[in-house]
Amino acid sequence: MAGAIIENMSTRKLVIVGVTLLLFQALAFMVGGLIAPSPTTPRTYLATKCVDTGKNQQETKWFMPWGPDQCDRLQSFDDAMAKRIEANDIVFAVHIPSSKNEMSPWFQFMLVILQFDIAFKMNNQIEEGAVVNIDVSLAYRDDTVSKWTKMASSFEQRRLNCSFPTAKTVENEGRQYDCDLLPFMELGSVAHKYYLLNIRLPVNERKKINVGLGEIKDIHLVSIHQNGGFTKVWFAMKTFLTASILIIMIWYWRRISLLTRAPVLLEKVIFALGISMTFINIPVEWFSIGFDWTWMLLFGDIRQGIFYSMLLSFWIIFCGEHLMDQMERNRFSVYWKQVGPIVFGSFCLFIFDMCERGVQLTNPFYSIWASDVGTELAMAFIIVAGICACLYFLFLCFMVYQVFRNISGKRTSLPAMSKARRLHYEGLIFRFKFLMLVTLACAAMTVIFFIISQVNEGHWRWGEHTVQVNSAFFTGIYGMWNLYVFAIMFLYAPSHKRYGDEQSSGQCVTSESVFCVLFIQSLRRGGSEKQPGSQGKRSLWLRGRFY
């Protein structure tokens, strides 16, 4: 057995590989920071108050806030009271985007957030636990002259969470409440140029519908979509990385298939990690430019979940296969207790995603956070997944500690080796520890850059250039995990080289052959101190495992 490339590659070549990967990592951050624009763009809209004078018409009428077919507009609700127009006759109309602009499939998705402007009145205050009922319809068209086509409609409820900044006195009447933003709509694709929202707030005092909401003055909408420039950079990066990972994956498995033995568990898991990385890389988003695929957001979440589940499972098995003291190895069933929480946590997040974005495939206005039951259910899924993540992290740290402790214990056999072999295995131990530290650094980088992207303004000034920090986060972390998987498959591929008299210590059929040798050497050194029965069992296990 020749061992893995990481064991046989010279230090000079390994440094060259490491520097090359580091340069590509820096390039990934620079692509997002210097070339790509900000990932998303928010746009704010003020709903136009239209009067519905033909409610009894059978044909659905769409109310436009501007243009030649604009509706009969109201400047304020005072005008409605003066004209004796009831609340049920008022339609809030919002055209997305604003005039002289148009949407594009390059925007990928559209998230809309709702906010009410509510004035304080002594005789019309917001009741505790107030719920606003919204009758909303969505339409689209691809030019400015065709008729609007209905896309979706729904009757939704949103719970108001408002506070008044000062004392509720007569002197403060007219001041506005501070109300939280409410999730309103999410589209998984932006396949049309123009969208129109018609919102009604029907009032029924007998059924207590939209009663006790205070004095609503205006409705603001904030739409958020992905920037087209960022989308093009993102697609180009995914296309390049797909080819890179696919090539190294084919090369890796070809090397495995050339061996005279069957692939071991660690080699299979590394190959599965490459498949999951390829799955998340495949740029199927290119088809969303020409097709109205509203399920792309859900599909993207599923791909990310599969990759991260595979990555977490790989770390567990990678550490477990280096714990040379455990008697049973090279079988996936040995790790079911460790991998089980990962699968269960991922399943909880999948159910949560299906309850949110899965329902939004048919009703874009649905939000699991809109009801008390939905909120409790969503929080339950998130808490369970969080507990599983904490348990996983603690167990992974424990396994890494065990591996490092075992390596230190087995190093007592190094002085018995020749100087050349001792230096060789000391170098391999250092390489393994360095790889584990790089793994922890990758996980830490993901968390750190996520926090930075949330607390900064989104960009930094660097001389005459503007560095988009959020874009650098997306492209840099995405590139980092691709480079990590690339390095794992390259360094742990079987090498065509052989080192010294490694065969004399037995053919270690896993890629961590250095630890097999150290383990055997330590048993041989301590064989006289062990009881005969114990030594016989160990020897029998070694013959079945390594020879």
Q: What one-character-per-residue DSSP string does 456-497 give?
A: S-SEEEETTEEEEHHHHHHHHHHHHHHHHHHHHHHHTSBPS-
Q: Does residue 500 carry a pLDDT above 80?
A: no
Please tell me the predicted confidence (pLDDT) of residue 88.
Answer: 85
- Residue 503: pLDDT above 60? no
Quick one: what percent of the chain has pLDDT higher than 90? 23
Which one has a higher pLDDT value, 325 or 364? 364
Which of 128-132, 133-137, 329-333, 465-469 shows the lowest mean pLDDT across its residues?
465-469
Q: What is the pLDDT at residue 403?
A: 77
DSSP class of residue 204 equals B
DSSP E strand stretches across 87-148: 90-96, 110-119, 131-141
Average pLDDT on 193-210 reads 89
More confident residue, 323 or 229: 229
pLDDT in tens, 27-78: 998 888 888 888 888 899 999 999 887 755 555 689 998 888 888 888 877 7
Question: Which of 194-203, 280-289, 421-430, 473-482 bottoms out in mean pLDDT, i.e. has the lowest?
Answer: 421-430
What domains lie within the chain, and their CATH numbers? 5-39+229-506 (1.20.1070), 41-226 (no CATH)
Q: Is residue 193 very low, low, confident or very high in pLDDT (cuts 50, 70, 90)?
A: very high
Do 210 and 132 form a contact (C-beta atoms < 8 A)?
yes
Please state, in angstroms and rounded to a whole number, the distance separating the CA atoms of residues 254 and 265: 16
Q: What is the pLDDT of residues 266-311, one digit of tens each?
A: 889 999 999 999 999 999 989 988 888 889 988 988 998 899 889 8
Q: Supply 50's token pair.
A: 């239209």
Write the CB contacts of 416 (distance below 8 Å, at least 6 apart in sequence).
521, 525
Q: How far apart are CA 292 and CA 145, in angstroms?
A: 22
Q: pLDDT per residue over 354-394, tens digit each?
A: 888 888 888 999 988 777 788 888 788 778 777 777 777 77
Please name the residues in contact with 277: beta carbons below 8 A apart, sequence gap of 6 or more: 245, 307, 481, 482, 485
pLDDT in tens, 410-433: 666 666 666 666 666 666 677 777
Sequence-separated (6 or more) residues with CB below 8 Å from residue 166: 172, 175
| CB within 8 Å of 45: residues ≥ 6 apart | 94, 95, 96, 98, 220, 221, 222, 223
Contact 416, 521 (CB under 8 A): yes
Q: Where are the alpha helices (DSSP H) in 31-118?
A: 77-82
Q: Are 482 and 244 within 8 A, CB to CB?
A: yes
List the one residue out of 340, 284, 281 whose CA is nearest residue 307: 281
How much is the average pLDDT of 231-255?
92
The torsion angles phi and psi of 135, rounded to 5 degrees, stand at -100, 110
pLDDT of residue 502: 42
Tokens (6 digits) for 496: 């065509």
Work out the average pLDDT over 422-449: 70
Residue 461: the pLDDT is 46
Enter the tokens of residue 139.
């339409």
pLDDT at 44: 92
Q: What is the Cα–Cα distance from 21 to 308, expressed in whole angstroms?
A: 21
pLDDT at 326: 52
Looking at residue 335, what is its pLDDT? 80
Burial label for 258, CB within 10 Å (0-12, 13-18, 19+), is: exposed
pLDDT at 418: 62
Given pLDDT bands bounded at 50, 70 and 90, which one contains residue 328?
low
Q: Which two tokens stand for residue 411?
A: 């190093």
Does the pLDDT of residue 466 top 60, yes or no?
Answer: no
The pTM (predicted TM-score) of the whole model is: 0.79
pLDDT at 140: 93
Q: What does the pLDDT read at residue 387?
A: 78
Distances (CA, A) of 7 to 20, 133, 416, 455, 515: 19, 66, 20, 42, 11
Spell out where 390-481 has E strands.
Answer: 459-462, 465-468
Mean pLDDT across the chain: 79
What pLDDT was estimated at residue 533? Answer: 45
Residue 538 predicted with pLDDT over 70:
no
User: pLDDT category, 524, cuts 50, 70, 90?
Assistant: very low
- Give the Cα separation of 391 and 227 in Å (integer): 38
Residue 274's pLDDT is: 93
Region 311-321 average pLDDT = 83
Angle at 474 between CA 473 and CA 479, to 5 degrees: 100
